[in-house]
Structures are given as structure tokens and as C-alpha cells.
């Protein structure tokens, strides 16, 4: 029964990732692009390439995303990369389908882009919430943060890297395509990010995971081996359970998916996740 429940949960996570990817692709193909705005991240790069070269939009997007997925396989794990690939394929197929659907919002560009950005944010929230990803900028930011953290031993937020990456995308749109398009696209980013932060509790921030367990050895070993992370161990006592150990570990949003898998494999644990604004050392 437990294996069946896990299998169903796995299937549901892929279904929600696909649903989120289709929502995002509908927003881009049917609302944002017809109103002179573009998606952000690597999808935005794919759209820029398509506009400048005439290459088919879906092909340009998937070609832009593939290198980041391949990098994610080696540095972030196969499970995450499979979900990222499923999401990106669903997003690309959605673009191909929705581009051919006659759909138009007869309103001002500003209102259409605000609505499209919100819908895009909802779709991306679903993908991120279920451990997926359709944007290479998030994979790139995760890889850079991981490399820096491994060398320095400190935890860093992905936000500065994401801001720099997307600033470069919008600067390219501003100078090579159209100034108004760049400003509308920036509005898409702001609206989508607000929605994502609302439903994923600021995925770019550092997460503190508190784990209460009676047998900490397997957890600590798995955290060191699979996440290359350490954790703080505190002796604690429950009113009913008695003596136990409390582990505190700091990870980013994508590492959190791996840590959840580690925790689920160790029965008899209780854990909480909170968002950390700043760590002072």
C-alpha cells in the first residue's frame, strides 16, 4: 500500500508539472507574444532567437533549454533533471499547439500582459511546487550557488544570479527588438515572480529544515553523501516520545526536493521547513 501511494504521488507530481507547463505555454503563445511581451529566463532567450532568426519558436526554446538540462543531470541529479525535461517538453509542445490557436484578448497591452504574467506565474508555481523546472536560468543559478556553497561552506540565495540573468535578457530585448516590448516583458517578470513567491514561499531563498528523529545516523549520512551538506545536531526531548535528536539543515529550493526524499525514506521523523531571509556569520 505504501509503495502504491508513493507511485500515485509520483504520477500526480508529473501530471501537475505538465499542467503547469501547458498553462505557461498558453500564456506565452496566446497572451504575451501577441501583446509584444516575452517570457523570461532561457525561454526568453529562445523567443529572442526566434524573433531575430525566424527559427520556429518551439525549436528555438527547446534548443536553448537542452544544455541546461544536461548540466543539471550531472550536478543536480537524474530525478530532478527528468522532471525538468518533462516540464520543458510539455512547455515546448504547448507552444507548438497554442501558436496555431486563434485567440486574442481585446484589451490594452498593459492589462493583457498583467493577466498573462499572472497565468504564467501560476503555471510555474505548479511546476516548482512539484519538483520540476522549465527554465534554464533557475538550473544555472542553482548550479552556481551549489559550486560557491561547496567551496565556501556558506549558503547563498539564487536571487542575485536570477536578477543578473534576466536583466541581460531584457537588455537584449531593449536594444535589439523593441523598447516597449522590453518594458512589458519586465512587467511579466514582476507579476509572475510575485505569484511564484506567493505559492512557493520564495523559492529562491534559503530554506531551514528542522528534523526531529530518534535515529539520526542514516539521515546525517544521506545528507552528507547526496547533498554534500552538514547539519546541526541538538539533543531534545519530547513529552511523549522521550529522548530524540533535532537536526537543522540549510538548503536551497531545489536541494529541498532531494532532502524531502531522504526524510521520507527514514521513518519515525518529524520535520518542518521555513524560509530564511538572512544568515549572519
Q: What is the mean pLDDT of residues 30-38?
A: 91
Residue at grid coordinates 567551496: 151
Burial class (CB in 10 A: 0-12, 13-18, 19+), 106: exposed
- Torsion angle, alpha carbons of 143, 149, 150, 151, to 10: 110
The residue ranges of every structural domain in the chain are 2-200, 206-276
- 166-200: burial string, b at 16+ Cβ within 10 Å, e else: beebbeebbeebeeebbbbbbbbbebbbebbbeeb
- Alpha-carbon gap, residue 112 to 117, rounded angstroms: 8
Q: What is the pLDDT of residues 61-72, one digit of tens each?
A: 999 988 888 887
Q: How confident is the model at residue 3 (pLDDT cuts 50, 70, 90)?
A: low
Query: Sign (positive/negative) of CA torsion 187, 165, 202, 73?
Result: positive
- How far is the CA of 47 from the CAs of 43, 68, 80, 172, in angstroms? 6, 16, 25, 11
- Alpha-carbon gap, residue 184 to 21, rounded angstroms: 21
Residue at grid coordinates 518542518: 272
pTM value?
A: 0.84
Tell me the range of 47-56, 102-111, 128-137 where mean pLDDT is highest. Answer: 47-56
- Alpha-carbon gap, residue 92 to 132, rounded angstroms: 15
Cα 155–chain centre separation: 18
Topology of the domain covering 206-276:
Alpha-Beta Plaits (3.30.70)
More confident residue, 254 or 20: 20
Residue at grid coordinates 536583466: 167
- For 99, phi then psi, to 5°, come to -60, -30
Q: Name the nearest CA neighbour of 52 among 181, 242, 213.
A: 181
Q: What is the pLDDT of residues 153-171, one digit of tens each?
A: 777 778 888 889 999 999 9
Q: What is the pLDDT of residues 184-204, one digit of tens each?
A: 999 999 999 999 988 887 777
Beta bridge partners of 250: 208
Amino acid at each position: 500500500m505504501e509503495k502504491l501511494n508513493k507511485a500515485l504521488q509520483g504520477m500526480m507530481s508529473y501530471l501537475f508539472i505538465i499542467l503547469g507547463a501547458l498553462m505557461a505555454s498558453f500564456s506565452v503563445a496566446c497572451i504575451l507574444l501577441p501583446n509584444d511581451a516575452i517570457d523570461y529566463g532561457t525561454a526568453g532567450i529562445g523567443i529572442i532567437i526566434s524573433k531575430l532568426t525566424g527559427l520556429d519558436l518551439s525549436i528555438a526554446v527547446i534548443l536553448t533549454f537542452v544544455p541546461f538540462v544536461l548540466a543539471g543531470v550531472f550536478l543536480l541529479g537524474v530525478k530532478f533533471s527528468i522532471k525538468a525535461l518533462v516540464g520543458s517538453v510539455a512547455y515546448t509542445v504547448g507552444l507548438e499547439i497554442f501558436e496555431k490557436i486563434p485567440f486574442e484578448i481585446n484589451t490594452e497591452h498593459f492589462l493583457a500582459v498583467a493577466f498573462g504574467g499572472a497565468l504564467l506565474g501560476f503555471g510555474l508555481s505548479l511546476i516548482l511546487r512539484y519538483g520540476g523546472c522549465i527554465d534554464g536560468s533557475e538550473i544555472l543559478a542553482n548550479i552556481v550557488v551549489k559550486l560557491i556553497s561547496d567551496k565556501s561552506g556558506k549558503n547563498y540565495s539564487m536571487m542575485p544570479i536570477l536578477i543578473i540573468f534576466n536583466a541581460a535578457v531584457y537588455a537584449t530585448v531593449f536594444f535589439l527588438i523593441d523598447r516597449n516590448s522590453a518594458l512589458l516583458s519586465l512587467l511579466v517578470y514582476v507579476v509572475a515572480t510575485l505569484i511564484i513567491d506567493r505559492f512557493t514561499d520564495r523559492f529562491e531563498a534559503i530554506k531551514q529544515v528542522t528534523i526531529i528523529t530518534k535515529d539520526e545516523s542514516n539521515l546525517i549520512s544521506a545528507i552528507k553523501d547526496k547533498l554534500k551538506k552538514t547539519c546541526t545536531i541538538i539533543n531534545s526531548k519530547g513529552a511523549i516520545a522521550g529522548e530524540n535528536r533535532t537536526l537543522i539543515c540549510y538548503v536551497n529550493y531545489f536541494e529541498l526536493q532531494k532532502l524531502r526524499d531522504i526524510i521520507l525514506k527514514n521513518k519515525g521523523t518529524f520535520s518542518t521547513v521555513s524560509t530564511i531571509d538572512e544568515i549572519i556569520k
